[in-house]
Structure 1
Amino acid sequence: MFRWIFFILFVAIIEVYAFQAFRTITKSRWILVAYQVISLAAIIYIFYQLSQFDRRVGQNTKTLLTFGLLLLLFVPKMILTFFMLLEDVYRVFSGVITHFMGDNDNGTFLPDRRRFVSQLALVIAAIPFTSLLYGMTKGKYNFRVIKQTLFFPDLPEDFDGFTITQISDVHSGSFDDAEKIQYAVDLINEQKTDMMLFTGDIVNTHATEMHPWIETFNKIDKHEYGKYAVLGNHDYGEYIDWPSQAAKDENFEGIKKLYGDIGFDLLLNQHTKIKKGESEIAIVGVENWGKNFKQAGDLHKASEGLTAEDFKILMSHDPSHWEYEVKNHDKHFQLTLSGHTHGLQFGIEIPGIIQWSPVQYVYKQWAGLYENVGRYIYVNRGLGFHAYPGRVGIWPEITVFELKKGEKVA
């Protein structure tokens, strides 16, 4: 109950201040009434949908829309509120000075709001509004192919030039455009790599979410050296209330089966050897291991029988696993591939200039390539989306790696 009271109070303050910004720049009664009606209708819809959230169902298209609308409505208004509050501080300070100096000629303690402040606030608030709207309509399917060439002195000769496609975080339960998903599959097939790896989260929660998309993902070409996958945190069905443990277990078995249904070999704390010519590398796959999420991954079991001299590619969904267990492991995992963070689906990335997202304050490795004493982790930004039904600045990703033998030339 307290949370609802706090939320209602928060909304009321924001609405009052946001309305002040609009009322300062226009005196048109119809514009102000239209603004109030639209805001009220949106708030009622959001409150109703939040009150109807069913922990037995979890995220669905309605909750996605609700959260998207919540951000679209309140992020810009929070910016307006910030500017209006700053102006109120100025108005109070100015009123106090005027009062004690006896220069108050208009008979009111507070000076009027300044039109240019409201105009500036509205212009700045329009930036996240248009960005969030673009993210929900276009950005969530703005697929990018990112290519990485990685050099390893200990890469077996026969694997010099070996290519790998990585996808992660499909979250099929969020998809709503079959044509765009087919386009993503076509992009994957265009890469013509030797192997494909999928680093988890095929669904949001339920195995049935993937059923409409099995045929589409089955169109991903076979790869000469195989297609392998691991589980992500959402694949365990941990985030809803199940009617029974049996129902949860049945769903988990169904999710594991999905990977096979679309042609991937699921590695459950195990590894497989890939032979090319006279050489071998190991593909190691652990179940989810996250510092703040399910820790089902068993690196010791998955790498049993391997040595530090073996060349290993580790698939581990959550990049915090690399930070806490992998990067200094005595078996020397040369390359780790992860996902999980989505880059928060929001941020700014300009290659060579800036890479920022709020998620970087939670994860040290959150998007792209990181290195520690010759050991690498690559964090894929994800193919799908979750919670917020869009992407702003952090676009859905298909990654292509080329492995090269030798030292990187500076």
Structure 2
Amino acid sequence: MLRWIVFLIVFIIMDLYAFQAFKTITKNNWMYLLYWLLSVLVVGNFIYSYAGFNRSNGFSHANAYAFGFLLAIIIPKMVLLIGMFAEDIFRVPMAAYRYFTEGEAAKGNYLASRRKFISQIALGIAAIPLTSIIYGIYKGKYNYKVLKYTLNFEDLPDAFDGYKITQISDIHSGSFDNLDKLNYAVNLINEQQSDVILFTGDMVNNKADELLPYMNVFNKLQAKDGMYSVLGNHDYGDYARWESEEAKHQNLETLKALQKELGFDLLLNESRFLEKNGERIALVGVENWGVGGFKQAGDLNKASKQIKENDFKILMSHDPTHWEKQVIKHPYHYHLTLSGHTHGMQFGIEIPGWIKWSPIKWRYKYWAGIYKEMGQYLNVNRGFGYLAFPGRVGIWPEITVIELKKGAAIS
């Protein structure tokens, strides 16, 4: 209860500051009423959705939209708060000075009026996150981007020169709310005509049955050399409440069976070989391995037991911290590791060749795109789906296409 009281107090203070800026652009009382009504509805809906919320009960669409709409109004109001408070840093001391120097001569009007242009500048800046978040909720989460990379390897088997891999990650099927957009995305994956499709974990948010409504969509995925997958941290059902350990175990078994039905070969600390014209590359898949409280079921040594040190290797590992903590320095040389997990926080700014930024960079060293360390590559996919916040702002859902080329690595 205390946290909700604190939340309301902070929000009211923020709203009062924001309202002062809002009053500089209209004198219409009906607009004032609309302003406060919108605030009450959004905050009331958020409290209603989360007052008894327990993550283990699952994260519904109602929860997601309540959170999304709160962000849509609270971040712009934070911008206005900063703008208005910055002005008060000068207004309040000046009012105190006038009080002690002018006294009755000021006729009680010690506090100078707000300058209209400052309020309007703050409103203009606040409109940027407002429109961005609204766009992210209604359009951005399905704004699929195909990102293509060409990676060169001197020891790539000749038969695999030009071999194309499509990577998808973090489907989070329990979050979807638009079947048509999902069909479009699956068709977009197939249009890449890659040799193999690799899925790097988090098929669901919590429970296997989240995938059921979309089986007839994902079963359209196809690649001539097959499809392979690994588990992500959400796939184990660790964040849901189960009536028994047996129920939790059965949920995971059901998810494994559903992935097989879709045509995925699920690698559980295992390896496979992709063969072509008498040559081969090793495909290694580990279970989830992460830090900061995430499950560490991945066993790289076990997964690599059937391969040789001089094999060309592609590793599928959901969490990029695994690459940082174990893979790079492993005695075996893993030429390419494919990960996901971070979603790029579903929020950031990316202008290719200019800027790539997201707050997630303060949590993960490797959070989106291609990285190279010690002659080994990592690609962190930004995710196919979304979680918690029902949208994406600046960090769009990703389909990665990687072409392997024979030749000297390009710096």
Length-normalised TM-score, structure 2? 0.96
2:313 alignment partner in structure 1: 312
Deviations, residues 244-281 of structure 1 (Å, cap 9, x unaligned):
22221111111222211211000000101111112111
Query: How far 1:216 moved relative to its partner?
Result: 0.7
Which range moved further: 134-143 or 269-278?
269-278
3-state DSSP of counterpart to 2:350 = strand
Alignment of 1:281-296 (within 5 A): 281-292=281-292, 293-296=294-297
Alignment of 1:344-383 (within 5 A): 344-383=345-384
Moved over 6 A (4+): none
1:36 alignment partner in structure 2: 36
Alignment of 1:173-188 (within 5 A): 173-188=174-189
Query: How far 1:53 moved relative to its partner?
Result: 2.3
Deviations, residues 114-169 of structure 1 (Å, cap 9, x unaligned):
21121111111110000000001111101111111001111111111111111000
Contact persistence 1:24–1:114 (CA under 8 A):
no
Partners in 2 of 1:53 and 1:258 — Cα distance? 29
3-state DSSP of counterpart to 2:322 = helix
1:109 alignment partner in structure 2: 110
1:87 alignment partner in structure 2: 87
Letter in 2 for 1:108: N
2:75 alignment partner in structure 1: 75
Query: How far 1:184 moved relative to its partner?
Result: 0.5
3-state DSSP of counterpart to 1:272 = strand
Contact persistence 1:317–1:340 (CA under 8 A):
yes
RMSD: 1.5
Structure 1 residues 370 and 55: alpha-carbon distance in aligned structure 2, compared to 1, 3 A threshold? closer
Deviations, residues 52-73 of structure 1 (Å, cap 9, x unaligned):
4244431111111111111112
Partners in 1 of 2:145 and 2:107 — Cα distance? 59
Partners in 1 of 2:9 and 2:248 — Cα distance? 38
Alignment of 1:11-410 (within 5 A): 11-102=11-102, 105-221=106-222, 223-292=223-292, 293-409=294-410
Letter in 1 for 2:71: L
Partners in 2 of 1:406 and 1:145 — Cα distance? 24
Letter in 1 for 2:252: F
Letter in 2 for 1:287: E
Which range moved further: 49-58 or 68-77?
49-58
Query: How far 1:330 moved relative to its partner?
Result: 1.0
Contact persistence 1:164–1:401 (CA under 8 A):
yes
Deviations, residues 329-383 of structure 1 (Å, cap 9, x unaligned):
1111110000011101111111110000000111111000000021000000111
3-state DSSP of counterpart to 1:280 = strand
Letter in 2 for 1:289: W
Query: How far 1:327 moved relative to its partner?
Result: 1.1
Deviations, residues 377-401 of structure 1 (Å, cap 9, x unaligned):
0000111111111111111111111
Partners in 2 of 1:93 and 1:385 — Cα distance? 47
Partners in 2 of 1:399 and 1:56 — Cα distance? 32
Partners in 2 of 1:255 and 1:110 — Cα distance? 64
Contact persistence 2:92–2:111 (CA under 8 A):
yes
Partners in 2 of 1:8 and 1:255 — Cα distance? 41
3-state DSSP of counterpart to 1:109 = coil
Aligned length: 409
Query: How far 1:100 moved relative to its partner?
Result: 4.4
Which range moved further: 88-97 or 164-173?
88-97
Deviations, residues 257-313 of structure 1 (Å, cap 9, x unaligned):
221121100000010111111211110000000112111111111011433311110
Letter in 2 for 1:402: E
3-state DSSP of counterpart to 2:3 = helix
**Identical-residue share of aligned pairs (%):** 54
Length-normalised TM-score, structure 1? 0.96
Query: How far 1:181 moved relative to its partner?
Result: 0.5
Partners in 2 of 1:107 and 1:9 — Cα distance? 29
Contact persistence 1:145–1:397 (CA under 8 A):
yes
3-state DSSP of counterpart to 1:149 = strand
3-state DSSP of counterpart to 2:318 = coil
Letter in 1 for 2:166: T
